[in-house]
A and B are shown apart, each in its own frame.
Chain A
Amino acid sequence: MQPVISLEKIWKIYTTGDVEVTAVRDVSMTVQPGEFIAIMGASGSGKSTMMNTLGCLDRPTKGRYLLDGVDVSVLPRDELADIRNQKIGFIFQGFNLLSRTSALENVELPMMYGGRKIAPKEMRERAMRALELVGLAKRFDHTPNRLSGGQQQRVAIARALVNEPAMLLADEPTGNLDSRTSIEIMDAFQALNEKGITIAMVTHEPDIARYTKRNVVMRDGVIVSDIIVQDRFNAKEEMRKLDEEHQAAKLVK
């Protein structure tokens, strides 16, 4: 099977004045369809650079990056934008929804920037379906400031899914969320992954990484470990445990 992601000897060197900083050095990696992978590492380990490269926001200095079989490391700006639009669903730490814009319209946004013209009615239907998938169909007309953090992140997931991308790319998706909501989001990810969607996620929390299937650890711009997760967390199971704990602590009835 053709890998979704194929990194071949990727280098990323930043030049600030006279100083050269190598953020990623000679990294090779493949991600197969249906994988659920966590890229981990301390700050400065190069995981953010990896994320930007994987997300086609940035081009590697050296090396080849094949996304869904297409070499994207040489594409110009606007074509990279099209790749981001069609093949990648972005989920950010800070949700990055457009404020004062309804959940539905936020989800419609990627379709507006697609090369293909979509009728407004179809756009709406597709956006509603994506919102249903994350369980927020009832709140389609809410603006982000009327949604909780978890709900906002689910709107962001719906937005990421709406163009049916080859993979979801999440940058610290639970970074701004409490533990319970984090589990909710991981539950959503696991459900999507079971439907066959490839997910790559950057996180620095080992707990969160245990919901994925594969953990890649980076340090100083190189991959230091790449393991299959053995005792994987199941989000539903963890949620049940958490509820029990809360009941015991009389936090909830």
Chain B
Amino acid sequence: MKLTATFRIALRALKRNKMRSILTMLGIIIGVAAVIAMVGVGNGAKAEVEAQIATLGKNMILVFSGSMTSSGVRGGYGAAGTMKIEDAEAILRETPGVTLVSPEIRTSAQVAAGNQNWYTSVLGESEDYFEMREWEFTEGSSFTDQDVRSANKVGVIGKTTAQMIFGEEDPVGQIIRVRNVPFRITGLLKSKGFSLGGNDQDDVFVVPYTTAMKRLTGATVLRGINVQAANDDVMTRVQDQISSLLRQRHNIRPGHDDDFTVRGQQDIAEMATAQSKTMTILLGAIASVSLIVGGIGIMNIMLVSVTERTREIGIRMAIGAHGWDILLQFLIEAVTLSSLGGLIGIAIGFATAESISHFVGWPIMVPPVYVIGSFLFSAAVGVFFGLYPAKKAAALDPIDALRYE
């Protein structure tokens, strides 16, 4: 018997019991929809996180000073101030694969110009910081290495800070006071948007770290060091080398804890995606349970269908249908049910992901392989769970089947 004819018979049988067919498909529909929605939102989230991580720059390694515990109160990273300018210089000098370093000082301060003032983060960095973070300028340029060496009172302003102080006016060349120390603005940074932590990265004023230490905080130690590796492949090696270099420089004996933390950009990305991974696993579990339950539902209905149509099977056998023809007929019916459910599930999955993306504010992304994969899987569910009822139908004795009332 021709496959197309068999397919037509199957479709007709399903149409005859529309409600039943739809209810039977529901398990598969929910399962596949969950997979598609999960993948769509999950991948969108991943892409979003990756885009945010990318704002850090390329191949960045962050070295923080260790935390400090004093009278039982533990400060955050950088509080201990174990990192010195010499450490930064040593890293650049002694670690192959390191292209740029920028020692980092961080403080918060009231900044003012004219009759406006604003409370913002003040960063002390080297002149290479902007290149490392791939942070471009709208106006002007970075301070120079000369400015760093001489601890000149110059700085680069972030977009948000500039807007708060100067409005639409061009800030470059203007004087801004930080803790009453006047700074000349050499450049206006392009907007980078919010960081993973939800901080406005543009709400900032960046000065040479030397200036920050001498004129603003009086500190002699660093909060941390920004390091850029030459490429992705050397990241791990460079991180390890920095660790051992710093342990050696800080005289940390084996068995004792580091007084610093080295984090690669990928570590940060992994932490950020851990949450979406949990969600993916959860939804994946729901999807697989739903697909199995859906498959059992199909098997159940196919068994009912075989019983209901015993007489039809008998007629078909009496006029010459082979067991194989009957098997194929019911198998195709089951597969049609499940793959139709798969198709509807894909559609609903896309709709669900689309509406979720509307709420969370990032685009959905479903790789075609998941669409094809979930369709094929639902078809496979049909084969797997349809096989037993179909075999049962094919094994019927024509005489008994004809006699069946």
- Which residues of A does B touch, CB under 8 Å? 52, 55, 57-58, 77-78, 81-82, 84-86, 90, 92, 96-98, 100-101, 109-110, 112-114, 117, 159
**Given A57-B398, A96-B311, A113 contacting B318 (CB threshold 8 A):** no
Does B321 interact with chain A (Cβ within 8 Å)? yes
Known interface pairs A57-B398, A96-B311; A81-B2 also in contact (CB < 8 Å)? no
How close is B394's CB to chain A, nearest CB, in angstroms? 10
Interface string of B315-342 (1 = CB under 8 A from A): 1111111111100000000000000000
Q: How far is the CA of A189 from the CA of B366 in the complex (A)?
A: 65
What are 14 contact pairs spanning A and B, CB under 8 A?
A52-B399, A77-B322, A81-B322, A82-B320, A84-B319, A86-B320, A90-B318, A96-B311, A96-B315, A96-B318, A100-B12, A110-B320, A113-B322, A114-B320
Contact with A along B289-319 (1 / 0, CB 8 A): 0000000000000000000000110111111
Identity of the chain A residue whose Cβ is nearest the Cβ of B401 in the assembled complex: A57
| CB-CB nearest in chain A for B318 | A90
Which residues of B line the A interface, CB within 8 A? Answer: 1-2, 5, 12, 16, 311-312, 314-325, 398-399, 402
With both chains docked as a complex, state the minimum distance between the C-beta of A152 and any C-beta of chain B, in angstroms: 13
Contacts of A55 in B (CB 8 A): 318
Given known pairs A92-B402, A112-B5, the reply for A78 and B323 (CB within 8 Å) is yes
Q: Is the CB of B320 within 8 A of A85?
A: yes
Decide: B325 and A113 in contact? CB cutoff 8 A. Answer: yes
B402: chain A residues at CB < 8 Å are 57, 92, 96
Smallest CB separation, B366 vs chain A (Å): 39
By a CB distance below 8 angstroms, the chain A residues around B325 are: 113
The CA-CA distance from A86 to B321 in the complex, in Å, is 11
Q: How far is the CA of A77 from the CA of B317 in the complex (A)?
A: 10
* In the complex, chain A residues whose CB is within 8 Å of the CB of B5: 112
Best-buried of A85, A113, A114 by chain B (most CB within 10 Å): A113
Task: State whether A113 and B16 are in contact (beta carbons under 8 Å apart), knowing that A96-B402, A98-B312 are contacts in the complex.
Answer: no
Assembled-state Cα–Cα distance A92/B398 (Å): 13
Residues of A within 8 A of B323 (CB): 77-78, 81
Point out the residues of chain B lying under 8 angstroms from A86, CB to CB. 320
Q: How far is the CB of A201 from chain B (nearest CB, A)?
A: 16
Q: Please measure, in the bound complex, the distance between the C-alpha atom of A98 and the C-alpha atom of B318, giving whole angstroms.
A: 12
Closest B residue by C-beta to A112: B1
Residues of B within 8 A of A159 (CB): 319
CB-based contact B320/A57 at 8 Å: no
- Please, which residue of chain A has its CB at the minimum distance from the CB of B312? A98
Interface centre among B1, B2, B311, B322 (most CB of A within 10 A): B322
A112 and B322 contact, Cβ closer than 8 Å, known pairs A52-B399, A96-B315, A98-B315: no
Q: Is there contact, CB below 8 Å, between A84 and B322?
A: no
- Of all chain A residues, which has the CB nearest B405? A94
**Residue of B whose beta carbon sits closest to that of A92:** B402
Kindly provide the distance from the CB of A200 to the nearest chain B CB, expressed in whole angstroms.
Answer: 15
Interchain CB contact under 8 A, A85 and B319: yes
A112 touches B318 (CB 8 A): no
Query: Which residues of chain A come closer than 8 Å to B12, judged between CB atoms?
Result: 100-101
- In the bound complex, CA of A100 to CA of B15 (Å): 11
Is there contact, CB below 8 Å, between B315 and A84?
no
Residues of B within 8 A of A97 (CB): 315
- Bound-state CA distance A55–B398 (Å) is 11
Which residues of A are found within 8 Å of B314, using beta-carbon distances?
Answer: 96
Contact yes or no, B320 A84, CB < 8 A: yes
Instruction: Find chain B residues with CB under 8 A from A82 CB.
Output: 320, 322
Assembly CA distance A97 to B190 (angstroms): 79
| Closest Cβ–Cβ distance, residue B307 to chain A (whole Å) | 16
Lowest 9 A-B CB distances belong to which pairs?
A85-B320, A113-B320, A78-B322, A110-B319, A96-B315, A113-B321, A112-B1, A84-B320, A57-B399
Q: A52-B399, A100-B16 are in contact. Are A117 and B316 (CB under 8 A)?
A: no
Chain B residues, CB < 8 A from A98:
312, 315
What is the CA–CA distance of A85 and B323 in the complex, to the nearest angstrom? 13
**Alpha-carbon gap, A82 to B316, bound state (A):** 12
Known: A78-B323, A96-B311. A58 touches B399 (CB 8 A): yes
Neighbouring A residues of B315 by C-beta, 8 Å: 96-98
Residues of B contacting A109 in the complex (Cβ-Cβ under 8 angstroms): 316, 319
Q: How far is the CB of B392 from chain A (nearest CB, A)?
A: 16
Q: Does the CB pair B321–A117 fall under 8 Å?
A: no
Q: How far is the CB of B7 from chain A (nearest CB, A)?
A: 12
Is A84 a contact of B316 with CB atoms below 8 Å? no
A45 to chain B, nearest CB (A): 17
When C-beta atoms are compared, the residue in chain A nearest to B13 turns out to be A100
B residues less than 8 Å from A85 (CB atoms): 319-320
A90 touching B319, Cβ below 8 Å? yes
Cα-based distance from A55 to B314 in the complex (angstroms): 13
Q: Given the complex of chains A and B, what is the CA–CA distance between A57 and B324 in angstroms?
A: 17
Residues in chain B near residue A113, CB distance under 8 A: 1, 316, 319-322, 325
Q: Distance in Å from the Cβ of B404 to the closest Cβ of chain A?
A: 11
Q: A100-B16, A112-B1, A112-B5 are in contact. Are A81 and B317 (CB under 8 A)?
A: yes
Assembled-state Cα–Cα distance A158/B1 (Å): 20
B8: min CB distance to chain A, Å: 10
Q: How far is the CA of A114 from the CA of B317 in the complex (A)?
A: 12
A62, B363: Cα distance in complex, Å: 75
What's the nearest-Cβ distance from chain B to residue A100, in Å? 7
